[in-house]
């Protein structure tokens, strides 16, 4: 179908946010913020009721949205084409491989045209499906809708499920009778989005969020009773700690996990004794992390305690689980980062990373015999699905690479038989032979080497003429996988080189890679990314004016930092829900995530040194009078993670101080939060806008 050229957009004046100076002083250092007024005083209320946003703030955000609409109007047809392409690569009537649990198998299914998943089950041996939750039906009439956790009861008679209809990540928790399909009267607001059943199925444990969006209280709910009478089981007193609830794979223990970004503490409740007091595994100790499983007789603990930087696995008696009784099961080995451990009745499975690549290692508990599940590609992504069952020899994992669509395998841990259960379908077609994926090692300015994964068409000229989208994140120890991404093919098929820079701040090269990219060493994250950009240009994969950098959330902070540091290295910047007002946010301990974030960035309230470290790179605070490349920033009004005013203030100050008139756009989704639009196709429209911007600023539109 031909795309019709839209009529010219009405002229839109460039928005100019009013300057209302507010001066702050701490550690004897004063600074002035002209745009602090964009932070709504009633931000907690706005999270739940977006319509209560101050009219002046709303008018500014809507003016910026209109400015973007006008500036990108000439790409409307291109956006439609990109959307159609990306949608054409999605199997609309897709479904997951059902996961068995006792007499049933549980799965997710989409229907043609449907935006949201349907949760279904069938008998384990197969047969007709039963629809448990119809996401499309539940979303009717809502501008935003996202399903949270869904947990069936041990006897399979009920489903605890949660939804968020604001984008603020305050989830309402409900209980559905699976025989009738009706929800019970139990309706629990402001939860973290999930819950855990007791063994008897009479009780449901869940975490409630406070007005500052902190998950600090664990409650026990008796099904069929008024949630107002729910029992407070445990309260986390430290505002710097998150709290979550889960269970071991055996389902013997309910886990209460308190943690920040470097310290953890776990309490357990026997699932068959749900009214018991929580029992502490080991007291929290700064910079010591641990997580808990059990093998039916003892606890199995993944930890970095006692200098195990890349983690080790220990065991402890159930009746005496303290640190003094921890015994090595898998000793620490430097450079082999153990990411996760799952324990089954006869086997332990760990996901680990070494030399930048993941692998799965299976250990037979009876005799300690180990083997790894091997793969051959130069760069790839690997994922584990723990499943529901404990007494099983089968695990499920997924595999993909930049050129290989995702594959789901069932694996027998005893016989080592690997069965392909599903291959991701690309309805519009995909031939891996048309593409090349490479892993480069880029020299950083301090002598380190930064892995960079590339994807491009085999016929793309590598003479400096190709545009490049360079993606980065580099925080919280999160590693960006080299996985299959159907969306980016719309750029690659138009001659782009798609690149992922595995910079410090992630754990791509072990825990050390993370430690070298946080707090006082945070600048390494930025210099690594700039080094990657300059290397790609120097080696003629692209040229500096054709590199569009992209990052979201903490990766959006990366975008703001590098464009201040090296604006000449980039031809465009895409910053999605960008954490760019770092100093102000870390100085505001009333915000949802600030106290738990101090271990990652430093505490500028308590420490002048931390203040100066953050002030030296905080994107908003380092905007200078210089030329900036084209910039697209995207935010979400109800985002509790990166509040909407961060990108709004950033763009306002950029527009005030920059010395050129390159495109500078802010798009605030007035109906969504951190993850953008909730429907699978609505989200593609946002991706189409982002890609159209990249194509436009590189002359490919």
Active-site residue set: 553, 639, 674
Question: Do 503 and 472 touch, CB atoms closer than 8 A?
Answer: yes
Burial of 48 (0-12, 13-18, 19+ CB in 10 A): middle
Backbone angles phi, psi at 637, to 5 degrees: -60, -40
How far apart CA 568 and CA 544 sit, in angstroms, is 7
Q: How far are the Cα atoms of 17, 63, 281, 658 from residue 652, in angstroms, in the given order?
A: 6, 12, 49, 10
Question: Do 108 and 30 touch, CB atoms closer than 8 A?
Answer: no
How far apart CA 43 and CA 465 sit, in angstroms, is 46
Q: Which contacts of 426-430 are long-range, i.e. CB under 8 A and separated by 24 or more positions?
A: 426/89, 426/91, 426/486, 427/88, 427/89, 427/90, 427/91, 427/92, 428/85, 428/88, 428/89, 430/89, 430/405, 430/486, 430/489
Q: Which residues of 374-387 are buried (b: 16+ CB within 10 A; e: fewer)?
A: eeebebbbbbbebb
Let me know how long the chain is: 701
Residue with tokens 């002359």: 699
Question: What secondary structure does DSSP assign to 275-293, as a single string?
Answer: TSPPEESS---TT--EEEE
Q: How many CB atoms lie within 10 A of CB 237?
A: 7
3-state per-residue secondary structure call for 51-114 = HHCCHHHHHHHHHHHHHHHHHCHHHHHHHHHHHHHHHHCCCCCCECCCEEECCEEEEEECCCCC
Q: How many CB atoms lie within 10 A of CB 163?
A: 22
How far apart CA 457 and CA 495 sit, in angstroms, is 7
Strands 497-501 and 468-472: parallel
Return the half-sphere exposure (C-beta side, CA atoms, 13 A cut-off) of residue 424: 19
Q: How far are the Cα atoms of 55, 597, 645, 655 from residue 40, in angstroms, in the given order?
A: 10, 21, 8, 21
How far apart CA 616 and CA 407 sit, in angstroms, is 44
How far apart CA 239 and CA 603 sit, in angstroms, is 13
* Dihedral, CA of residue 642, residue 645, residue 647 and residue 648, to nearest 10: 170
For the chain, the C-alpha Rg in angstroms (whole number) is 25
Dihedral over Cα of 226, 227, 228, 233: its sign: positive
Token representation of residue 129? 């499906």
Three-state SS for 224? coil
Nearest to 669 by CA among 691, 693, 657, 685: 685
Residue with tokens 């989830």: 171
Q: How many CB atoms lie within 10 A of CB 403?
A: 19
Question: Do 105 and 99 touch, CB atoms closer than 8 A?
Answer: yes
Strands 407-412 and 22-26: unpaired
Burial of 283 (0-12, 13-18, 19+ CB in 10 A): exposed
Helix (H) or strand (E) holding 598: helix 594-601
């Amino acid at each position: 179908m031909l795309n019709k050229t839209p009529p010219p957009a009405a002229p839109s004046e460039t928005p100019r946010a009013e300057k209302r100076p507010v001066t702050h002083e701490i550690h004897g250092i004063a600074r002035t913020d002209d745009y602090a007024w964009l932070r709504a005083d009633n931000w907690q209320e706005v999270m739940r009721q977006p319509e209560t946003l101050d009219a002046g703030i709303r008018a500014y955000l809507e003016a910026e949205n209109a400015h973007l609409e006008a500036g990108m109007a000439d790409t409307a047809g291109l956006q439609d084409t990109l959307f159609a392409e990306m949608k054409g690569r999605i199997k609309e009537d897709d479904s997951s491989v059902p996961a068995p649990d006792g007499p049933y198998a549980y799965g997710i299914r989409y229907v043609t045209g449907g935006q949201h998943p349907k949760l279904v089950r069938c008998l384990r041996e197969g047969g007709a499906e039963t629809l448990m939750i119809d996401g499309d039906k539940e979303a009717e009439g809502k501008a935003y809708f996202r399903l949270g956790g869904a947990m069936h009861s041990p006897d399979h008679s009920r489903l605890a499920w949660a939804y968020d209809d604001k984008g603020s990540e305050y989830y309402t928790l409900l209980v559905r009778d699976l025989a009738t399909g009706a929800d019970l009267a139990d309706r629990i607001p402001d939860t973290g989005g999930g819950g855990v059943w007791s063994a008897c199925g009479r009780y449901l444990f869940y975490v409630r969020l406070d007005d500052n969006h902190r998950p600090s209280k664990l409650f026990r709910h008796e099904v069929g009773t008024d949630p107002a009478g729910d029992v407070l089981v445990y309260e986390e007193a430290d505002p710097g700690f998150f709290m979550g609830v889960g269970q071991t794979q055996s389902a013997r223990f309910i886990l209460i996990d308190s943690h920040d970004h470097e310290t953890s503490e776990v309490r357990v409740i026997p699932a068959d004794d749900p009214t018991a007091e929580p029992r502490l595994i080991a007291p929290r100790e700064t910079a010591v992390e641990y997580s808990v499983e059990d093998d039916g007789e003892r606890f199995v603990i993944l930890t970095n305690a006692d200098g195990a930087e890349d983690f080790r696995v220990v065991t402890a008696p159930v009746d005496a689980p303290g640190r003094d009784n921890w015994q090595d099961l898998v000793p620490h080995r430097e450079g082999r980062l153990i990411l996760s451990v799952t324990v089954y009745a006869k086997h332990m499975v760990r996901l680990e990373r070494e030399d930048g690549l993941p692998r799965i290692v299976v250990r037979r508990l009876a005799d300690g015999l180990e083997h790894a599940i091997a793969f051959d590609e130069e760069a790839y992504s690997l994922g584990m699905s723990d499943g529901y069952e404990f007494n099983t020899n089968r695990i499920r994992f997924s595999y993909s690479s930049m050129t290989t669509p995702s594959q789901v395998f069932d694996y027998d841990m005893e016989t080592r038989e690997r069965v392909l259960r599903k291959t991701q379908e690309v309805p519009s077609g995909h031939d891996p032979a048309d593409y090349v994926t490479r892993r480069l090692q880029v020299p950083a300015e301090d002598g380190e080497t930064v892995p960079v994964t590339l994807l491009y068409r085999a016929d793309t000229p590598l003479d400096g003429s190709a545009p490049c989208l360079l993606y980065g994140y580099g925080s919280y120890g999160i590693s960006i996988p080299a996985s299959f991404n159907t969306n980016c093919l719309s750029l690659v098929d138009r001659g782009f080189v798609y690149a992922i820079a595995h910079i410090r701040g992630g754990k791509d090269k072990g825990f050390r890679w993370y430690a070298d990219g946080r707090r006082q060493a945070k600048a390494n994250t930025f210099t690594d990314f700039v080094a990657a950009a300059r290397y790609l240009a120097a080696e003629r994969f692209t040229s500096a004016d054709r590199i569009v950098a992209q990052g979201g959330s903490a990766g959006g902070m990366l975008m703001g930092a590098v464009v201040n540091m090296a604006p000449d290295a980039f031809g465009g910047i895409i910053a999605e829900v960008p954490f760019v007002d770092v100093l102000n946010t870390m100085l505001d301990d009333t915000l949802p995530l600030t106290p738990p974030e101090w271990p990652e960035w430093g505490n500028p309230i308590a420490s002048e040194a931390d203040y100066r470290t953050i002030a030296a790179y905080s994107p908003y605070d380092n905007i200078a009078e210089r030329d900036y490349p084209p910039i697209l920033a995207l935010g979400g009004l109800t985002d509790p993670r990166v509040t909407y005013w961060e990108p709004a203030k950033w763009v306002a100050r950029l527009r005030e101080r920059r010395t050129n008139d390159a495109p500078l756009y802010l798009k605030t989704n007035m109906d969504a939060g951190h993850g953008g639009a909730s429907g699978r196709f609505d989200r593609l429209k946002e991706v189409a806008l982002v890609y159209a911007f990249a194509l436009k600023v590189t002359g490919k539109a």
